[in-house]
Amino acid sequence: MFTKILLIALTLITTTLPLEAAEQRLELDLDSTAVTFTLGSTMHTVEGIMYLSEGTILFDLENGSASGRVVFNATLTETGNAKRDKKMHKKVLESNAFPEIIFTPETIEGALTENGSNDLTLRGTVSIHGSKHQVTLKAQVTREGQEISAASALTIPFVDWGMHDPSVFVFRTDKSVEVSLQIHGTLDN
pLDDT single digits (tens) 113-167: 989 999 999 999 999 999 999 999 999 999 999 999 999 999 999 999 999 999 8
Is 10 within a domain? no
Q: For residue 116, what are the domain limits?
A: 21-187
Query: Which CATH number does the domain housing residue 87 bear?
Result: 2.40.128.110
- At CA 86, angle to CA 74 and CA 133, rounded to 5? 35
- What pLDDT sits at residue 171? 86
- What pLDDT sits at residue 155? 97
Is 94 within a domain? yes
Is 75 within a domain? yes
- What pLDDT sits at residue 8? 46
Distant-in-sequence, close-in-space partners of 22: CB < 8 Å, separation ≥ 6: 60, 61, 62, 63
Is 27 within a domain? yes
Is 5 within a domain? no
Is 2 within a domain? no
Q: Supply the DSSP symbol for 175.
A: S
Q: pLDDT digits over 99-118, tens only?
A: 999 999 999 999 999 899 99
Our count of domains for the chain comes to: 1
Q: pLDDT digits over 46-98, tens only?
A: 999 999 999 999 999 999 999 999 999 999 999 999 999 999 999 999 999 99
Distant-in-sequence, close-in-space partners of 114: CB < 8 Å, separation ≥ 6: 143, 145
Is 1 within a domain? no
Is 8 within a domain? no
